[in-house]
A = this chain, B = another copy of it.
Amino acid sequence: MKIHCEKEALLKSINIALRAVPVRTTMPILNCLYLQAFDNVISLSANDMELAIRTEIIGEVIEEGSLALDAKILSDIVRHLPDAMVTLETEEGDRVVIRCEQAVFHISYQTGEDFPELPEVERRNHIALSSFTLKEMVRQTIFAISDTGTNRMMTGELFEVKENRLRMVALDGHRISIRTVNLEESYDAVKVVIPGKTLNEISRVISGEADDIVTLFFTENHVVFEFDDTTVVSRLIEGEYFRIDQMLSNDYETKLCVNRRELAGCIERASLLVRESDKKPVIIRVEDGSMQLSLKSVLGSLREVIPVEKTGRDILIGFNPRFLQDVLRVVDDETITIYMVNPKAPCFIRNEAAGYNYLVLPVNFGAGDVD
């Protein structure tokens, strides 16, 4: 095999493929990137058996062939080459020569015969959306998935397509994040659960530009993401997702409009007094025109009052400050609306026009938690 390409193009592809190289594996071949050069197309693949990535490199195939190279060594070397043309060529024996200007590297390679290629997935049901929208929707929901893995379904996100509407849902038993968006066209119905890890990796490799399109194909067991010169195939989480619609409600007793930054700053300050081991609630007392937040812990206490626009009843309610923080960090609106029923019932931070709905369960608190 012999190929010729620009360092930057090669490095860009390596950085994409690296996302599917496992941190630990019992199959040594998975630590490699698999390079293929046929029919004037150079491609680079990686596969951790859950997630597989194949990306094309713009370059010239001088001699066809394929080989597998240790991902870490290859990426280290290419990252440190001068910005110039790179030639990669197999030698007699098991060595490959990487040449760039005056630098000549020799490293050993494997044939890659045992490299698990990307699963063949039938491309039938699909949707298309902008890279920007996909990246934003993942960012605005993924914090609510559970990473403990005691319930596998909670480690993924629901992707639900109905006509021209895409809904993404993440939950962990204490909260639910929902984002919906209108797609340009109507599509066949889809309801699948994509692993959180896949969505994290996708977010890192897609451009995030509004003008770039990502196409998703769904089958019973796989989802395929296609964008630019890259294909990502991931397994789905099998089984039925939680019935979330019955957990959602539009009824409320108290409705608050509050400045997001002010509330976020205040909850961040309250969190400073919370040690990991000692979960303390932030207590919110809502009265006409004002919202008092307070938190008491062994380290000290904070009390802060911020102005709100209130409709409905006064309320005294406690929350895990982190759950509110997580929502306030990802919402873009300057003013947010919070809907509450009573101190035991879920509260909602919601804006239907903007396509988001966050459910957060309150927590119990005792007289000692109130300042």
Residues of chain A having any CB pair with chain B under 8 Å: 70, 73, 76-77, 80-82, 95, 102-108, 265-266, 268-269, 272-273, 299-306
Minimum C-beta distance from A294 to chain B (A): 9
Report which of B103, B105, B108, B300 forms a contact with A107, defined as CB distance below 8 A.
B300
Q: CA separation between A273 and B299, bound complex, in Å? A: 49
Known contacts A76-B272, A77-B272, A265-B82; decide if A102 and B300 are in contact (CB<8 Å): no
List residues of chain B with CB within 8 A of the CB of A81: 269
Alpha-carbon distance A203/B304, docked complex (angstroms): 38
- Decide: A299 near B103, CB < 8 A? Known: A82-B265, A272-B76: no
By beta carbon, the residue of chain B nearest A269 is: B80
Minimum distance in angstroms from A272 CB to a CB of chain B: 5
Q: What are 30 A-B contacts with C-beta separation under 8 Å?
A: A70-B299, A73-B272, A73-B273, A73-B299, A76-B272, A77-B269, A77-B272, A80-B265, A80-B268, A80-B269, A80-B272, A81-B269, A82-B265, A95-B300, A102-B266, A102-B304, A102-B306, A103-B269, A103-B302, A103-B303, A104-B303, A104-B304, A105-B269, A105-B300, A105-B302, A106-B300, A106-B301, A106-B302, A107-B301, A108-B300
State in angstroms the CA–CA spacing of A51 and B369 once bound together. 40
Contact between chains at A301 and B105 (CB < 8 Å): yes
Per the bound structure, the CA–CA distance linking A95 and B303 in Å amounts to 14
Q: Which residue of B lies closest to A299 (CB)?
A: B73
Q: Is there contact, CB below 8 Å, between A266 and B103?
A: yes
**A227 shortest CB reach to chain B, Å:** 30
Residues of B within 8 A of A299 (CB): 70, 73, 107
State the Cβ distance, A370 to closest chain B Cβ, in Å. 14
CB-CB nearest in chain B for A294: B104
Chain B residues with Cβ below 8 Å from A273 are: 73
Complex contact B302–A104 (CB within 8 A)? yes
Taking each of A76, A265, A300, which has the highest tally of chain B beta carbons within 10 Å of its own beta carbon? Answer: A300
